[in-house]
């Protein structure tokens, strides 16, 4: 991955992450999948972002340097994986929502942010880890020049006022491994 890739506009990162390969190593197992769906959470003004509520213990990692994992528990049940973007003290991140499995040893399809974390054995132990480490990292994958990117509203953020209508969800058109169309 390019240096400083995550230190740029969150929406741009979210789109450029599509097609790249998420890799996770746990023990001898390696899990890999092509990222098919992402969402951008664009800083302190974005009412959909946890960071809009200010700096707390949970959101602290978003205020840190780009390229770290932000992992939290939603609805008391599932983990969600984000990657912090933008420069330090600008709290923003990209939610990795779905991927197309390449190499998995579990019978869980990584479709939807909760299932993705289940399938890839991602939990809070990886919070704040660099996304360029030995446990979790990204690879370039094949080029996706000819694949269309669709834009849509983000899921599950009805509370976000005028930000709920922003089309900051991105997914690969015609790919089956997308949570909603």
Interatomic CA distance for residues 166 and 149, integer angstroms: 16
In the complex with DNA, the residue whose CB is nearer, 3 or 57, is 57
Question: Is position 75 an interface residue for DNA (rule: CB under 7 A)?
Answer: yes
What sign for the dihedral angle of Cα 5, 10, 83, 153? Answer: negative
Interatomic CA distance for residues 115 and 65, integer angstroms: 27
In the complex with DNA, the residue whose CB is nearer, 45 or 134, is 45
Least separation in angstroms between residue 3's CB and DNA is 24
Question: Is position 37 an interface residue for DNA (rule: CB under 7 A)?
Answer: no
What is the x/- site pattern for DNA, positions 111-130, by CB under 7 A? Answer: xxxxxx-------x------
Question: Is position 72 an interface residue for DNA (rule: CB under 7 A)?
Answer: yes
Interatomic CA distance for residues 35 and 146, integer angstroms: 16
Interatomic CA distance for residues 171 and 181, integer angstroms: 9
Question: Is position 90 an interface residue for DNA (rule: CB under 7 A)?
Answer: no
Give the angle subtended at the CA of 102 by the CAs of 100 and 25, to the nearest 5°: 110
Chain contacts with DNA (rule: CB under 7 A): 39, 41, 48-51, 53-54, 56-59, 62, 70, 72-78, 80, 82, 93, 95, 111-116, 124, 154-157, 159, 179
């Amino acid at each position: 991955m390019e240096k400083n890739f995550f230190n740029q506009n969150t929406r741009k990162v979210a789109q450029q992450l599509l097609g790249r390969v998420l890799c996770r190593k746990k023990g001898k197992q390696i899990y890999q999948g092509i990222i098919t769906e992402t969402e951008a959470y664009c800083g302190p003004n974005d009412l959909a972002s946890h960071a809009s509520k200010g700096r707390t213990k949970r959101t602290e990692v978003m205020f840190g340097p780009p390229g770290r994992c932000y992992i939290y528990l939603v609805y008391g049940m599932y983990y969600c994986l984000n990657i912090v973007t933008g420069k330090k003290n600008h709290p923003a991140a990209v939610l990795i929502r779905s991927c197309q499995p390449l190499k998995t040893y579990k019978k869980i399809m990584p479709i939807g942010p909760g299932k993705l974390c289940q399938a890839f054995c991602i939990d809070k132990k990886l919070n704040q880890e660099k996304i360029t480490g030995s446990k979790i990292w990204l690879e370039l994958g094949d080029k996706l020049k000819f694949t269309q990117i669709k834009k849509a509203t983000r899921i599950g953020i009805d509370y976000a006022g005028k930000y709920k209508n922003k089309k900051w969800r991105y997914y690969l058109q015609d790919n089956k491994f997308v949570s909603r169309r």
